[in-house]
């Protein structure tokens, strides 16, 4: 079963939901605003994808971090920030078995999910 992580109100999430629905792909949605994120899950994402990819540096949550935190960010600290401020995680994050996809990319979705 495919699991999609994110925030329901996010426009990019809506695109991903629409694509999955149009292709009749079943999924389970994990809403960061309503469900906790386990540290082991966040750590696994950072290990597999790199914190630089998992952390959304273009969003307001990143911009609101103090400069010291941004400049000293590493994998361990990224996990802690992700747990404290889930909005900083790039969305959507799709987990399909061993495959992990970040962001909305129809070509990647077609390649890995169909």
- Residues designated as active site: 10
| DSSP H or E segment with residue 29 | strand 27-31
Which of these, 19, 39, 17, lies nearest to 28 by C-alpha position?
17
The packing angle between helices 39-49 and 75-84, to 10°, is 140
Strand 99-102 relative to strand 93-96, pairing: antiparallel
As a whole number of angstroms, the distance between CA 29 and CA 2 comes to 9
């Amino acid at each position: 079963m495919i699991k999609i992580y994110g925030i329901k109100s996010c426009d990019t999430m809506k695109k991903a939901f629409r694509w999955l629905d149009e292709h009749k792909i079943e999924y389970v949605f994990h809403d960061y605003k309503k469900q906790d994120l386990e540290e082991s899950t966040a750590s696994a994402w950072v290990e597999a994808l790199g914190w630089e990819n998992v952390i959304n540096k273009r969003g307001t949550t990143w911009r609101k971090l103090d400069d010291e935190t941004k400049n000293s960010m590493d994998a361990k600290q990224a996990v802690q920030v992700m747990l404290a401020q889930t909005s900083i995680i790039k969305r959507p994050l799709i987990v399909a078995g061993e495959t992990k996809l970040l962001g909305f990319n129809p070509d990647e979705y077609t390649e890995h999910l169909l």
